[in-house]
Amino acid sequence: VSNAGVGMAGPLECQSLAAMQSLMDTNFFGLVRLVKEVLPDMKRRRGGHIVVISSIMGLQGIVFNDIYAASKFAVEGFCESLVVQALRFNVAISLVEPGPVTTEFEVKLYEEAERADYSRTDPETADIFTNLYLRNSKDIFASLGQSPEDIAEHTLRVIEAARPPFRHQTNAAYTPMAALKHADPSGALMTDAFYKLVFKYDAVLRLSLR
């Protein structure tokens, strides 16, 4: 089970390349290093199961989560490319894709975001992040966030499945969000829906969450 991960949220201009590279080293290359260690023996035994804790953000990018989403997209692409070869050796690969999970991980991430310096971006972007994104994120976590125990139960079901699924989303509320991309290959439907949700109907979003 690969579960190591770090988060990053905020305007792109305010994040250093060193911090981005460190995040990718943990979230993506950490997984790659683990798989390189365990896969050869699994192939020799012709049996095994690699379970990767991914994220709904591996399927759908979210505003102000550019680098974190990129790391999870990388995880998804890596596993999607590997799964067919692995099946040849009777090795299963499963991606567990949670939405928001209420842990100290998120608490620390948002505390750091509230204290961060946003002087390297323009005032409008800083205002959107601090007064719109952070506020809505707290409501989303309060309303839709799952507990770590719930994610553990989902992961256990994936591990114990007779035919382990390649992808398993833990929060049904996020299924329509991921489906938007497949409904319109041009990306226009998804982009328009998210733009309106963030910038036109945010008050409706907060009201519905409460």
Q: Which residues are catalytic?
A: 68
Cα angle: 180, vertex 183, 188; to 5 degrees: 70
Other CB atoms within 10 Å distance of the CB of residue 17: 8
pLDDT of 150 reads 94
Closest by CA to 139, choosing from 166, 110, 163, is 110
Q: Can you give the pTM of this predicted structure?
A: 0.89
Give the pLDDT band of residue 126 (cuts 50, 70, 90): very high
Average pLDDT over residues 138-155: 86
Question: How far is residue 153 from each of residues 58, 106, 128, 138, 145, measured CA to CA in Å?
Answer: 21, 20, 36, 24, 15
Domains and CATH numbers, the chain: 12-209 (3.40.50.720)
Q: What token pair was written down for 130?
A: 């601090």
pLDDT of 205 reads 61
List 92's β-bridge partners, or say none: 49
Residue 209 confidence (pLDDT) above 60? no
Question: How far is residue 79 from each of residues 27, 182, 200, measured CA to CA in Å?
Answer: 13, 19, 36
Q: What token pair was written down for 100?
A: 């928001």
Residue 174 confidence (pLDDT) above 90? no
Residue 105 confidence (pLDDT) above 60? yes
When the pLDDT of each residue in the chain is averaged and rounded to a whole number, the result is: 90
Per-residue pLDDT of 10-45, as tens digits, reads 999 999 999 999 999 999 999 999 999 999 999 999
Average pLDDT over residues 89-114: 86
Q: What token pair was written down for 9?
A: 């949220």
pLDDT of 206 reads 60
pLDDT of 48 reads 97
Q: Which DSSP symbol is given to 147?
A: P
Average pLDDT over residues 122-131: 92
Scan for tokens 């792109």, then name that residue: 12
